[in-house]
A and B are shown apart, each in its own frame.
Chain A
Amino acid sequence: MTALSGLDLDVRPGEWLSLLGPSGCGKSTALRLIAGLARPTAGTVERHLPGPHEIGFVFQEPTLMPWATVEGNIALPLQILKAPRAEIRSRVASLIERVGLAGFERARPRELSGGMKMRVSIARALATTPRLLLLDEPFAARDEITRARLNEELLALWQAQGFTVVFVTHSVWESVYLSTRIAIFSDRPGRVVGEVAVPVTASREPEFRESPEYLATCRRVSAKLAEAMA
């Protein structure tokens, strides 16, 4: 089965690119291609990144090791890349602080709430200080309140650290709120049928969601999405 066909997509440094489209349109496949977890049957993926540690990946589920503590889970990528022990320890401690999990260093995933598990997952993805963070509908399975909070936190991390984000979602509202650019996918076999740039001047404060440009952008994206599905 062909998941993607005629896909042409550039990811620009520092942007927050959302891949928006109906379920099963191949957005996740596109993300896996970018990560190098899958190979295209035709065509190429060009990556201008020096090493494997330059990509962080967050799955839809937290995907933690249930036997390991919060610390252990976040340390995993660094251990695989054979970072020095002392460096791992200080890096993990600062990540735990940054995602607001201080006090839970030694807890196992089963002792955490869904939102906390997701934070561990994000901290793990950021452990290697990647230049590119890939997120595959990361909060789709969370409740509305948790989802909004996690989005806020992720936005703050992105603004503070300046990495590039590719974010798969099927929510128009979410994509417009978070992104600098939105690529709209058609139904299977997926390809990019339209792009919408979100006004970069817009400050990403919660008030942005009530602004006229937010609503206007949402309307444009929705229209393109409707076109793509027709």
Chain B
Amino acid sequence: MSASRLQKAGRGFSWRSVLAALGPPLSVILFLLAAWEGLVRWRQIPEYILPGPLRIATALVESWHTLYPSLLFTLAVTGEALLAAVVLGGGLAVLLAQSRWIERSFFPLAVVLQVTPIVAIAPLLLIWIHDIRLALVICAGIVAFFPVVANTTLGLNSADHHLLDLLKLYGASRWQTFRRVRLPSALPYFLGGLRISGGLALIGAVVAEFVAGSGGTETGLAYRILEAGYTLEIPRMFAALALLSAAGVVIWSALSGLSWLLLRRWHESAIGRVEG
């Protein structure tokens, strides 16, 4: 088999495979929504207890002018938190990978930050930081930070030892070793961490806003949910919730797509995705 043919097999893309991948979950979701709508209508459940999907869709359209800016706000907070987590977490991982001694000294601190519930830290941060938006970004960033650090550190230390020997043989500098072997070895691990962090950043942004009780001058989706709860506008509450879920799914898919793009030529995880 020629090289080019083999490469094409690894990068195969067809609408059939997309349909095969999306068909089953979409069918399940549609079925559940239909069952939900049917149940609500059949049992005549009042909308302040459980609105049907169609009612929620109407509420979404009606409240779009308030929900949409809130969605953008929450996404902005999530995005900034994720960016901070990648920059700082990636940087810390590089530092930790320099020596076992540094790793042993600093890694436990990262663990402490990870295991302390963000709901418990958020009130403190909100007292210290007057800019509420900044406090939200920091809260979400703390939650998103750990998977990046842990995975990237693991990846940087997982480089093939024989390859490292080879670089030593040619007298490679620390920087050359890092750039040529450690960094590419860490990439799949980092991307795995990033996918988890994306979802966690969104959760962090929402939890922090719940604790803050407001998004400052702007308002995020979490506050829209609280607000709708206070006034018993349950369909609007569900609409905000649906937007949050959709945002989470989009973030996950975008990061998975990024991971696939970067790894499709060589890493087993990305290759299995197409063939499986």
Contacts and interface: CB of A to CB of B under 8 A. Distances in A.
A37 B169 contact: yes
A61 B271 contact: no
A66 B6 CA distance: 15
A53 B162 CA distance: 17
Contact of A63 (B6, B10, B162, B271): B162
A37 B162 CA distance: 10
Contacts of B163: 63, 65
Nearest to A106: B3
A128 B187 CA distance: 28
A91 to B, nearest CB: 15
B167 A80 contact: yes
A104 B10 CA distance: 15
Contacts of A36: 169
Given A65-B163, A110-B266, A52 B184 contact: no
Given A61-B162, A107-B6, A111-B6, A67 B168 contact: no
Contacts of A147: none
User: What size tier do the contact residues of chain A reach?
Assistant: 20 to 34
Interface string B175-204: 010001100100100000000000000000
Contacts of A106: 3, 7
B interface, over-half SS: helix
B273 interface: no
Contacts of B187: 67
Contact of B10 (A65, A80, A111): A111
A104 B166 CA distance: 23
Interface in B244-276: 265-268, 271
A52 B181 contact: no
User: What size tier do the contact residues of chain B reach?
Assistant: 20 to 34
B170 A128 contact: yes
Given A63-B166, A66-B267, A111 B184 contact: no
A35 B168 CA distance: 10
B66 to A, nearest CB: 47
B172 A111 contact: no
A167 interface: no
A146 B172 CA distance: 32
A111 B162 contact: no
Interface centre among B6, B166, B181 (most CB of A within 10 A): B166
A interface, over-half SS: loop
Interface in A102-123: 103-111
Nearest to A127: B170
Interface in B1-25: 2-3, 6-7, 10
Given A65-B181, A107-B7, A81 B160 contact: no
A163 interface: no
Nearest to B173: A80
A55 B7 CA distance: 33
A158 interface: no
Contacts of B170: 52-53, 77, 80-81, 128
A76 interface: yes
B165 interface: yes
B108 interface: no
A80 B167 CA distance: 8
A139 interface: no
Contacts of B117: none
A103 B266 contact: no
A150 B198 CA distance: 48
A63 to B, nearest CB: 4
A177 interface: no
Contacts of B10: 110-111
B181 A57 contact: no
B46 interface: no
A35 B230 CA distance: 74
Contact of B165 (A37, A53, A79, A110): A37
A77 B172 CA distance: 9
Smallest CB-CB A-B distances: 8 pairs: A107-B3, A63-B162, A52-B171, A111-B6, A80-B170, A67-B266, A67-B184, A80-B172
25 contacts: A32-B165, A35-B169, A52-B169, A53-B170, A55-B169, A57-B166, A59-B162, A59-B166, A63-B163, A65-B181, A65-B184, A66-B266, A67-B265, A76-B166, A77-B166, A77-B170, A80-B170, A80-B171, A80-B180, A103-B3, A106-B7, A108-B266, A109-B266, A110-B10, A111-B6
Given A66-B266, A76-B180, A81-B171, 11 more contacts: A52-B169, A63-B162, A65-B184, A67-B265, A67-B267, A68-B184, A80-B167, A80-B170, A103-B3, A104-B3, A110-B268
